[in-house]
Chains A and B, each alone.
Chain A
Amino acid sequence: MVVANQYEMVCGLEVHVELQTKTKIFCGCTTEFGSEQNTHVCPVCLGMPGALPVLNREVVNFAIKAGLALDCEIAEFSKFDRKNYFYPDLSKNYQTSQFDLPICGKGGLEIEIDGEKKWIGITRAHMEEDAGKLVHSGETISTSNESSVDYNRAGVPLLEIVSEPDMRSIPEVLDYLEKLVQILEYTEVSDCRLEQGSVRFDVNVSLRPFGTDTLGIRTETKNLNSFSSVRRCMEYEVARQAQVLNEGENVVQETRTWDEGQGITLTLRSKEEAHDYRYFPEPDLPPLVIDKEWVERIRKTLPKLPAARRARFQTLGLSAYDAAVITQAKAMADFFDEALTYYTDAKTLANWVMGDVTRLLNTNQCSVLDSPISAHQLAELLELINKGTLSGKIAKSVLEEMYSTSKDASMIVKEKGLAQISDEGALLGIIDDVLAANPQSVEDYRAGKDKAIGFLVGQIMKATKGQANPGLVNQLLKEKL
């Protein structure tokens, strides 16, 4: 970016993650996504008079787990506070959150850009409740005469993860987000479905001349829900701020919103109108005392995180690139690991998984979690190739059949009589027929045209509907000729 050459960009991120507990943080309503409006509600999450919160133990467990996966200190003493402001999606007009004693302290994760590793710090992570959803009668808030509120989402548990302002470029930001989401997905504290709003990003950006230490004035753009909108938002905001500075003006410290349609950021509220949240300790919830035993119990449930799994796959013979692709999503890595328990050639397995299996899943927009082909079934297919029952080529079509029917490879091979013909006797018979039918090619081959054998092999394959074992055909042909 031309603009970036004049100024250094400093970026920090706040990421809100929906924790996939069965119930909301302070009441027993289900957190299931996508139901009819205002059906997963109760007096507590509706903020009715007289309602009181009760903290969900699993939310605390998930928060600790995420914190450990992100190398964070876990607070011994933690509490909730009320963040007071008025908005129609906030059923009590305060959000129960954590202010000065969050459950997770300093941590971080490692990103890698063009082979160079860098540590991005995490300042803190805290638990809070989500607000409801607003549906506007018009296209946007400002063009709507009225809005409608659905409180199904109100009270869903969130973990807010705040990074240090350590990022200096858009690739760094994107790699941080990717790695962060990957780690969260691995710990299974969230389904990380960005398209459902399970993870949302607030981006803080400021510019400063290269070589200076002090931070410039930053803006915050809230509620981005995809990596691509983060990228485009940052490109726009950096360019906008640079232009402001180049004109000799100061950047206004403010909160902005991303307009997806126009591809620009807009002022949401200025500093003068900044909220005075009047934080105070939540009187309805006693504090948390988290002892070492609790933390250790959670630590034991941590899965092998992406970096460790990548390393292990590499020791099995995968290239760094292949290992990275397969560990991209935990579900895929789990699938791979399960198949490995039946079929030990990791490299071949990796090729099939990254190739045809992924192709089939993508074409059908299917998650590997819902794959019609199980890891065991894939392993069985590859085993059949190994044993010589199937040629690689036929195996591919068997895979397609497996995808649409979920049947075992061996079943399909049996039903369709696809077993590779490796019976010499049977083959010899067919070879004789083909040789008899193609005397010219026989002569050409004997005359020195090696290519002619290819034609003959092709004829034999055709006669056997591709099921002849090609290696054996070649060998037998050459013997005959």
Chain B
Amino acid sequence: MTISREDVEYVAALARLELTEPEIQEYTEQLNSILDYVAMLERLDTSDVMPTAHAVPLHNVLRDDQVRPSINHEKALKNAPDGDEGFFRVPRISLT
């Protein structure tokens, strides 16, 4: 097994996904199958190869420091599930 159940639970926590018990089992199985498959990449010697982060060789794409209109209050909050006097409201944030 490349990835254990504990790994799956750790990754789900990192990704902020609440998984049900059947989901944990299903994902553990499926992720293992996928990871076993992707392991084939190890066959390739890439020690002298640079990674490609961008498909097009661009660099220094910059804009001028000019103010552009912001969207107004209303527009910003229009889709907010809980907007209150111009703020986006969220429930209690626990520290740890």
Contact = CB atoms under 8 A, between A and B. Distances in A.
Q: A and B touching (C-beta < 8 Å)?
A: yes
B92 A146 contact: yes
A32 to B, nearest CB: 9
A171 to B, nearest CB: 32
Size band of the interface chain B makes with A: 35 or more
Closest 9 CB pairs of A and B: A28-B68, A148-B87, A58-B65, A286-B58, A57-B62, A281-B53, A149-B88, A37-B86, A54-B63
Contacts of A57: 62-65
A38 B76 contact: yes
A245 interface: no
A149 B60 contact: no
A281 B52 CA distance: 10
Contacts of A55: 61-63
Contacts of A40: 70
B43 interface: no
A5 interface: no
B22 interface: no
A40 B67 CA distance: 10
Nearest to A87: B93
B58 to A, nearest CB: 4
A39 B93 contact: no
Interface string B68-96: 11111100110000001111111111111
Given A55-B62, A57-B65, A86-B16, A268 B96 contact: yes
Contacts of B92: 144-147
A283 interface: yes
Interface string A3-25: 00000000000000000011100
A79 B60 CA distance: 10
Interface string A42-80: 110010000000111111100000000000000000010
A468 to B, nearest CB: 59
B65 A56 contact: yes
B86 to A, nearest CB: 5
A283 B14 CA distance: 21
